[in-house]
Every structure is written in structure tokens, then in C-alpha cells.
Amino acid sequence: MNRIEKVMRGITEKNEKAFIPYIMAGDGGLDALPQQITFLEKAGATAIEIGIPFSDPVADGPVIQAAGIRALQEGTTLKAVIQTIAAVRPIVHIPLIIMTYMNPIIAYGIEKFIEDSYLAGVDGLILPDLPFEEEGLIAPIAEKSGIEIIRLVTLTSPLERIRQIASKGRGFIYAVTVNGITGARKGFDEQVGEHLKRVKSVSALPVFAGFGISTPSHVEEMNRYCDGVIVGSKIVELFEKNDLLGIEELVNVQIVK
């Protein structure tokens, strides 16, 4: 059983809410990545989403774009990130999920990328620029190796499409909560709660809310409607400021008392 599936079953059985932080690999140098991963696991993260810096990140807001630029300036590459994950995997027990775009994977070689990711202990992939109709490029190879494809649904996805997407895989559904790019926001439209309830109504998989979530109150609000949250820009910002207490405060909202 993939680590993601195992952890998802665990949070359901314990009536807990998941918290998945996003970090940009190589922001502050790749030497910082193992420390960030181990800190987040110790803080209570359910899993960790590891972003790969890319020169044309269509889904990323200003904070993550800036982090990606800093990481590229440090010479971060996809291969180097996978090697770093392999080095830290023996001491990390929670799922590690790579978030990247298809161009770096195609340049790497899809089969070689999956092979190296599997050997490194990568558990899942989030590929925001891969349409559901085109996932045959990589999904069969990944899932044969035990690497889950984490699929996204948006506020504009029709119910039947959500149902179709939610019927795939054994991980979780990433429910995007804004129309636009990532980044901290002051609040959310009223339709977000209805959107999350709609996704939950047709998904046998856990549903996690992501994009724009940046405060403990945001986490609490989203957890009313779904199984957990994914927080990116705020985590990246807090790591840049070395505000570890701020990160712990966000992560620890996850538990349902």
C-alpha cells in the first residue's frame, strides 16, 4: 500500500484533518531541504508537497514564483531534488509528493523520472498543467510503480467531470479554492464551501482544499467542509523569514478535538 493511501486511511479512522505544507525545493539552497522536511514531519504534517523550480510556473503566485527564482539561482535541478529526497527518505516516514510541471519531466525522460522518483521514495505527483485527458502520458507508468497521481478539480469543474476525476487513484483530491494562481488571500468566496461539499459528495477519496489558505482561521474554515488543507505560499514565506513557530501554529490547527 502506498504511503499516501495508508496515511489517508489513518486520518479517516482517527477523525483527524490533514495538513500538507508546500515547500520550494532549493529555496535557500538544496542543503536546506532535508532540514525543512524533517522539521515539518516533527511539527505534525500529514505529508509534504515538494515544489520543483520552473521558469514558467503557470499556477504559481508571486511568493512561490519568487521562491522558484531563488532556487533556480541556486542551481536547483529536478535530478538534484530527487537525489536529495533519496538521501532524506530513510529518516522520514510521511508521504513526500513532488509538485512540478510536465516540461521538466519530459526533458528528464518520463520513464527515467518515474524510475528515479520511485527509487528515491517519492509517493505522489501533482502536475497542474497536465489535463485529465492527457494523463495517459505518465499516470499508468507512475501508478504501476506505486506513485500516486494527485488530481485537481477547480471551482469551474462540472460535477460530472469532478466525479470522473475522483474515480481515479487511491490518494486524495486536490480541490482548488480560488479562480486563479496560488497566494495568500484575506478570505474566500461564499461558493467555496458549496464547491468543497459538492466535491465531497461524489468522491470516495479524501478531499483537500488548496490555494489561498494562509491563516489558522482559513484552515479552520476549510476543515468544516473537507478532509484537510494544503498550504503553500504562507509556508514558503514563513520559511524565508525563519518563522518556525508560525509554521507550527498553522500545522497544529489540523487536529479535530
What residues act catalytically? 49, 60
The DSSP H or E segment spanning 152 is strand 148-153
**Left (φ > 0), alpha (ψ -120 to 50) or beta: where does 129 sit?**
alpha
Whether residue 112 contacts residue 63, with contact meaning beta carbons closer than 8 Å, is answered with: no
Instruction: Go through 123-153 and write b for each residue having 16 or more CB atoms within 10 A of its CB, e for each that does not.
Output: bbbbbbebebeebeebbebbbeebbbbbbbb
Nearest CA among 218, 157, 154 for reference residue 180:
154
**Which residue bears the cell 535541478?**
77
Residue 256 Ramachandran class (φ > 0 left, ψ -120 to 50 alpha, else beta)? beta
Angle at 178 between CA 239 and CA 102, to 5 degrees: 70
Helices (runs of H) and strands (runs of E) counted in the chain: 12, 8
